[in-house]
Amino acid sequence: MSVDGLNGFTEAIEAVFSDTLVQRCVIHAIRNSLNYVSTKDRKAFMEGLKPVYKASTREEAYANLEELSKLWKDKYPMALKAFSTTGRSSVFTSITRILSGK
């Protein structure tokens, strides 16, 4: 099930449907992250983000995320939060689950 990041939604789904895979919606995460990026930097930020969610392998996705983080973590740490490699329902966790077939 794909969720938009509302607090408690993941836990509610898992409480009722314990075997359900819950993941953060990539589109919602992108839209949310752009709220923290200056208008003048959005195009460049998105160009760096595309290789993360278009990666063919988990390793490629991790490497691309690392490159994105190097470029923007000091200026826009909150924009990168949704793409963190931690958290069971983070977007990146969802991406790596898709890539690994799990």
pLDDT of residue 76: 94
Q: What pTM, to 2 d.p., does this model score? A: 0.66
Q: For 36-91, how does the pLDDT look when each residue is reduced to its tens digit (9 = 90+)?
A: 999 999 999 999 999 988 888 778 888 898 899 999 999 999 988 877 654 444 55
Q: For 60-70, how does the pLDDT look when each residue is reduced to its tens digit (9 = 90+)?
A: 888 898 899 99
Residue 26 in this model has a pLDDT that exceeds 90: no
DSSP string, the chain: -EE---TTHHHHHHHH-TT---EE-HHHHHHHHHTTS-GGGHHHHHHHHHHHHT-SSHHHHHHHHHHHHHHHTTT-HHHHGGG-S-STTSHHHHHHHHHHT-
